[in-house]
Amino acid sequence: MILLRRLLRYLQSAQVWIVLGVVGPLGMLLISGLMLLDLRRDTWDRAEQTSQNLLQVIERDIARNIEIYDLSLRGVVDNLKAPGLADLSPVLRQLILFDRAASASDMGVMLVLDESGNIIDDANAAQPRTANYADREYFQIHKTNRDQGLYISKPLISRLTGVPMIALSRRINKPDGSFGGVAMGTLKLSYFMRLFDRIGLGQNGAINLYRDDGTRIMRYPFVEADIGTSIAAAPDFKRFARDRSGSFTAVSVRDKVERHYAFTHIGDLPLILNVALATADIEAEWRTKAWIIGGTSLVLCGLTIILALWVGRELRHRTAMQAELARLSLTDGLTGLSNRRRFDEALPHAWSAAAHTGRPLSLLIVDADHFKRFNDRYGHQVGDDVLRGLARCLMSTVHRDEDLVCRLGGEEFALLLPETDLAGALRIAEKVHSEIAACRLWPVGIGAGAVTVSIGVASSDGGRRPHTTCNDLYRSADAALYEAKAAGRNQTQWTRTTERDLETSSPLLRIVNT
């Protein structure tokens, strides 16, 4: 129960509401930010996995088709070694040479070239077509390099069909090991175009197939001007060539679009494949969610902060009102002095403090003489002005923070003086008489000296007898006031407290008449 009460008091604090109202939403924003970062990491993980899956599918398709075509070329080279092949008719020779030749819509021509580059066998015609390929790069490579193996050319335009293609070729050796020609087949670029076109990569995604010398064989989306160009000097390609596989994010040198590149070498072939997803496309869905979640969080946190500040302001306002009401409840509305309630609270505390420290405590009760005459003659408004004037005079006689000047009611006032002995209290009483006698600020019609007061003084030396309680102190001062009234008013009477006070009495310890 005690903890609950403390918690309720804690929650009623304006500062607590303001701190919670600011720190709470900031914590929510931090958590939302961490969640969005986690979602972003998941988005990039999915993009990475998608890129790797696409690479794997495309690589396998290309590797399988080139392997099939290479097996066909190997078959042609092996069949050329068959005995008696030269003596066969052109039709039988074609059937034997190209019995393992692959056939598909994207497969172009398959030819056998002699050592001079002329066509001597044609998979598509029993009577070979006429053309010479001695100037082609692949022919010169095989002619000068006995151990070349399968060679994949740069993109070319077929001299027989006029379509873009790449040439796959193998060297043919004579029985003595010398150069005997080239077995060559073409693969149309439309094969790569259709293969890449089936993959959806977003608006700015791209797929590229390069030779290992940096020559671009195919790009999706297809741009004819890109085919056959070299990017060997580009930093991105240098990374492709250096590593067998991997991924990174960079800005494309071609169109300045930032992309996430996933790349791999296709088997043992001199080909490099990359799948490039635009970072804007990867993060598009995440950014939409981020705007929605972030915007909603900001709005809600903003409203929470505003509400907390408003609640804090209201609590401060309420606290200030309560403090003001408390002050007003302890303040006399007419004179601005502390009222009887404040006096009733302060007297026991001052008495307890005096009893604890052994220090003296004095009380002066001041009453305006013949005050009813002012009201009857001049009216209550003037009477109120007189009371306010008396309050100013009383306040001017004390200067310590611990001294308390109160209006007890009507024309009666009190001065509570901690740590003040009887002699000090009588000096204050004399000062009160002097201030009131010298005052020139009374209402019109009331001259100087017309207003007088009677004062009753009581003092206690640390709570010891004869005043055993604070009420005894008050009654003694009140009794002294009545003695002053009975003795003719405009004077001070006091209550003697100890024998020591009697022995050390001075002229100030007599009845003061002014």
Active site residues: 411
Question: CA nearest 260: which of 242, 285, 236, 278?
Answer: 278
Residue with tokens 């918690």: 7
Question: CA nearest 292: which of 36, 45, 40, 46?
Answer: 36
Tokens standing for 125?
A: 């015609």
What CA–CA distance (Å, rounded) separates 414 from 391? 10
Q: Which residues pair with 364 in a beta bridge?
A: 415, 457
DSSP 379-396: -HHHHHHHHHHHHHHHHT
What CA–CA distance (Å, rounded) separates 426 from 225? 114
Residue with tokens 């398709």: 61
- Over the Cα atoms of the chain, what is R_g? 56
Tokens standing for 73?
A: 């070329």
What CA–CA distance (Å, rounded) separates 263 from 276? 8
Helix H, strand E, coil C: the string for 66-126 is HHHHHHHHHHHHHHCCCCCHHHCCHHHHHHHHCCCCCCCCCEEEEEEECCCCEEEEECCEC
Q: Amino acid identity of 208? A: N
State the sign of the Cα–Cα–Cα–Cα dihedral 98, 101, 103, 107: negative
- Establish whether the linkage from the previous residue to 221 is cis, with ω within 30° of 0: yes
What CA–CA distance (Å, rounded) separates 428 from 408? 18
Q: Amino acid identity of 134? A: A
